[in-house]
Amino acid sequence: KIASPCHVQPEPCRAGVAFMILRFRLVAILGASVCTRAFTLLEAVSRDGLRLTSPRMMATPAGLAILFDCDGVLADTERDGHRVSFNRVFEERGFDFEWTVEEYGRMCEVGGGKERMTAYLNGFNGYRTSGWPAGYESPTTESLTKGLPDDPRRLELVRELHARKTALFQELIGSGVVPLRPGVLRVVDEAIAAEVPLAVCSTSNEAAVRTLVE
């Protein structure tokens, strides 16, 4: 419940943990996705009989904690990280296309990097009408399994591209060129000063998340 534009009244949940934002708009930090993931985690903790009762958490007011998502919450890693890394891979391979911000935003409707490239090359939403790169135009089959090509050569291609993209993304995050979203650092600093526990809940690559957090 939002009590004011810059304060959130915490509500109890099954595992006794609530969300609290210090002087920051809820919508700027916690979206529906992170709330869903966080409560799913808390339900699993409760179901498995575990307890979130570390000394640090119990020392905080009312047992409060702040749970962040990563991509798009701590930093705009999709636009400034993943998209840039994909385009660098495309350039390295000599492909004649790149993803604009608007285009990549639509491509994010497809979950998973390998699946995203597959959908794009297959003409997702009318994009990439010229099809697959030279040498990959005539697959043994056009069928897909869980969004990935059944054709061995096409599958190998998207796997290679994604592996290289992940390496480039790690370098990009490690270089510090992807900035935190406005206000995030202030929220973190104030939470630490108030001894409120912080955590990041994400399905992204763990090493990339750790690099960004550090």
Distance from C-alpha of 86 to C-alpha of 16, rounded to nearest angstrom = 41
φ and ψ at 34, to 5 degrees? -70, -35
What are 8's strand-pairing partners?
2
- The identity of residue 99, as a single letter, is W
Residue 33 three-state SS = helix
Q: Among all residues, which ones are annotated catalytic?
A: 69, 71
Distance from C-alpha of 124 to C-alpha of 53, rounded to nearest angstrom = 47
Which residue's structure tokens are 């979130």?
52
Instruction: Give the CA distances from residue 121 to residues 50, 192, 200, in Å, rounded to whole numbers and listed in that order.
Output: 45, 45, 33
